[in-house]
């Protein structure tokens, strides 16, 4: 399987057999975000996480299905 992202190509013939950690490493490498591979190491404080969640909800509110 060939992935094209941001003008870069990457061939991963056995991508379906690999774990999700490998997927994160590939995407982080393509995006130049090597420091974000381990999601446990890039979390913020509880207040920062709540603020990010509120921003996310606000940004995607127009796409929320109506009840």
Query: Are the beta carbons of 15 and 35 closer than 8 angstroms?
Result: no
Is the pLDDT assigned to residue 3 strictly greater than 60?
Answer: yes
Give the residue, 14 or 51, on which the prediction is more confident. Answer: 51
> Taking the mean position of all CA atoms in its chain, how far away is CA 44?
16
pLDDT of residue 51: 94
pLDDT of residue 47: 93
| Span 47-55, average pLDDT | 92
What pTM value is reported for the model? 0.45
pLDDT category of residue 20 using cuts at 50, 70 and 90: low
What gap in Å lies between CA 61 and CA 67, rounded to an integer? 13
44 backbone φψ class: left, alpha, beta (φ>0; ψ -120 to 50): beta
pLDDT of residue 34: 81
Give just the sign of the alpha carbon dihedral 51, 42, 34, 25.
Answer: negative
């Amino acid at each position: 399987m060939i992935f094209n992202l941001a003008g870069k190509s990457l061939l991963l013939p056995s991508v379906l057999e690999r774990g999700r950690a490998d997927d994160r490493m590939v995407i982080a490498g393509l995006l130049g975000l090597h420091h974000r591979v381990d999601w446990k190491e890039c979390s913020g404080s509880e207040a920062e996480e709540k603020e990010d969640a509120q921003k996310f909800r606000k940004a995607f509110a127009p796409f929320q299905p109506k009840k």
